[in-house]
A and B are shown apart, each in its own frame.
Chain A
């Protein structure tokens, strides 16, 4: 079974629009970590955020914000006032207490921001 599901394969928005990328995860562990990475066309995965399962506070970093809801097993990512440079593939990932070293990635959401 897929541990991390990113149902949106591709999203296209016009610059300055807000966009939310969905991530749903599945785990039996009570302790786990969730991550978001950005993969621009160059290919390198760029770390954006890490959240542990005991911290449900939403986080904001500039135009980026994350909404973690354990009740729905979701960790959604919102980009406010999107820019062309935000165009990339975004991955959500999970690591579990049983083995923190093994990350489970979703299949990614490709975001196209048009000028």
Chain B
């Protein structure tokens, strides 16, 4: 049974660079979510997809952030012109499609912007 996977697990970049993270959900799950977690805090919702459609975006997702799920399977989260404040753990989760579902999380991508 394969869980949610995320790549890379760690990313160090310089301010101003672009970064892209990938998330592969549990295979039978239609919904995919992105969260951001800063040190000492709980995860904060960023966005979610139902299949390939992005149905909600948080105000936390500035214009520099874009997420895609082109074929309704894996998803990518891109951050353009990274800032030091973008340093965080980026978590991906997936769930089934029957009403209120439990979200299952991946191991996260830890981003450090220097």
Contacts and interface: CB of A to CB of B under 8 A. Distances in A.
Interface string A96-111: 0001111111111000
A47 B104 contact: yes
A25 interface: no
A55 interface: no
Interface residues of B, number: 27
Given A43-B110, A101-B48, A91 B42 contact: yes
Interface size class of A (residues with CB under 8 A): 20 to 34
A47 B105 CA distance: 8
Given A42-B107, A103-B43, A50 B102 contact: yes
B99 interface: yes
A108 B41 contact: yes
Interface of A: 4, 33, 35, 37, 42-47, 50, 52, 91, 93, 95, 99-108
16 contacts: A43-B110, A44-B107, A47-B104, A50-B102, A101-B31, A101-B48, A101-B95, A102-B56, A103-B33, A103-B43, A103-B103, A106-B42, A107-B42, A108-B40, A108-B41, A108-B42
